[in-house]
Homo-oligomer: A and B are copies of this chain.
Amino acid sequence: MRISLLQQNPVVGDLRGNEQKIIRGIKKACKENPDLIVTSELALLGYPPRDLLLQKKFIEKSWQIAENIAAECRAAPPVLLGLAQRNESDVGRPLFNVAALVNNGEVNYCFRKTLLPTYDVFDEDRYFEPAHDAQILHLQNQSIGISICEDIWNDRDFWNRRRYQTDPIEDMAAQGADLIINISASPFTVGKQQIREKMLGSIASKYHIPLVYVNQVGGNDDLIFDGRSCVFDSSGSLIARAKSFQEDILTSDLSSTESNRISPADFTPESEIWRALVLGTRDYVHKTGFTSVLLGLSGGIDSALVAAIATEALGKDHVLGILMPSPYSSTGSIDDASALVANLGIQSKTLPITPIMDAYDMLLRQEFARYSKDLTEENLQARIRGTLLMALSNKFGSLLLTPGNKSEVSVGYCTLYGDMCGAIGVISDVPKSMVYRIARWLNDQNQREMIPQPILTKVPSAELRSCQTDQDTLPPYDLLDEILYHHVELHESPEEIVARGYPKMTTFQALHMVKVAEFKRRQAAPGFKVTDRAFGTGWRMPIAAKEWYID
């Protein structure tokens, strides 16, 4: 059996655009004579459609368009198309998440998703009613188990702890499936493809049946889909893999020994994250209707890396760097930012903020007369810069990028309405130590200095007062990032982290900073998810709460 995998990049809600993309994909795949063509999960709607799913007419219209696709592709072999199907019963959630069999010019049977994830960024129980029995397609004397994304992530032999009572794959195998197909929209995180391939291979070999996995590609808001759809034979060996971080149509023959294509998977963490963020940035900018971006360049590592990502994503003519020196800016920072601009070949403008600082100072002098200088004055500088950047963004119609990294967003070492301004947090899920690793990797890859050397070696500073360094306020980043990993990704309490051997005072202080910065993060721009737990949709914390571990 020959199966074509449509690894496509849909726009959420763009039913007409996605329709055309799917039709083009089907027609192109047909040239390779497949027996079956398979899209990714909810391909026509774009994943995740989120609360658009609650709009009844959205579902109705998507259904009409699915029928158009069927009519348009009447001559094609059967297609499994990712759709949302209305639940006609008067009980249960409004929809089913389905793979619709499109065949002979019609939308025929719908295979339903059984396992509906509600952890991390997922909310599927909000919309979907589960299937209650094995979903099997009979085609060409084969029994094909049709599973959707999460359905395949509950294997009792692969996982120590399972999230669901049932295992739809086990049920399909028990009913004699000769092949398992999984249509997915599985968001990228660093290292996830290795786990996917290990898990999928182990399931194929466990049941001695081939397994076909189709993933979405592209960025949709905070989520980046990495593609890398793949096929395993009945021994669990990888026999085909689609491209990573780009659209691809992969046709694979399960029954012959002819060579299938195995595109490189690119498992280096620095490379994976770089490519994910480039794709995420390009898609976020274009899918929101923009073509160009701007960002403040402080001369520090974060804005430097974000500028490099944007340049790769959009082209150097679509990135504008803004230097906004204050009396606390070192000449080194201005030089470093200028060197970066030259290295990347982007445009820049310089807007010194001192006159505006003076104007605020004059207006507030009397009110603040009885108070000493504190964070207020530092925040004020950051907010003046944020206001200038937003004015340029408004006037030029360019999207503002937010440069904060995960370490500073975690502990709130950033100013709300200041350096937190912007449409998308490009590296807000990248810890500071990884920011450095990616910057060094980038220079190595290009065999020339993209990120100027001084930016990689100098002591990090916000330069909001004289002689300030990040480490006046924060522990060393390598230590901080380890503590944060245990807390943010592994949900550990300060006591547990201290028990691992981390210093007590530092751990408690860091976690206290995480707690009190919650109000800032709640108002942060969306940020691209690259770790197992990013702030945003996968981090749902109360604000007006007490630290439970402090008596």
Contacts and interface: CB of A to CB of B under 8 A. Distances in A.
Most buried by B among A220, A384, A547, A551: A384
Contacts of A50: 540-542
Contacts of A548: 13-15, 52, 55, 58, 61-62
State the copy count for this chain: 2
Interface stretch (A182-190, A208-216, A270-278, A355-363): A355-363
A525 B526 contact: no
A502 interface: no
Contacts of A118: 118, 123, 125-126
A160 interface: yes
A347 to B, nearest CB: 12
Contacts of A423: 519
A379 B367 contact: no
B391 A360 contact: yes
Interface residues of A, number: 100
A219 B390 CA distance: 34
Nearest to A522: B526
Nearest to A380: B391
Contacts of A387: 360, 380, 383-384, 387, 417
Interface stretch (A86-94, A448-456, A465-473): A86-94
A52 B542 contact: yes
Contact of A57 (B123, B160, B161, B549): B549
Interface stretch (A34-42, A97-105, A282-290, A304-312): A282-290
Interface string A1-39: 000000000011111110000000000000000000000
Interface of A: 11-17, 46, 48-52, 54-58, 61-62, 90-93, 118-119, 123, 125-126, 160-165, 219-221, 283-284, 287-288, 349, 351-353, 355-356, 358-360, 362-364, 367-368, 371, 374-376, 379-380, 383-384, 386-388, 390-392, 394-395, 416-417, 421, 423, 491-493, 495-496, 519, 522-526, 537, 539-549, 551
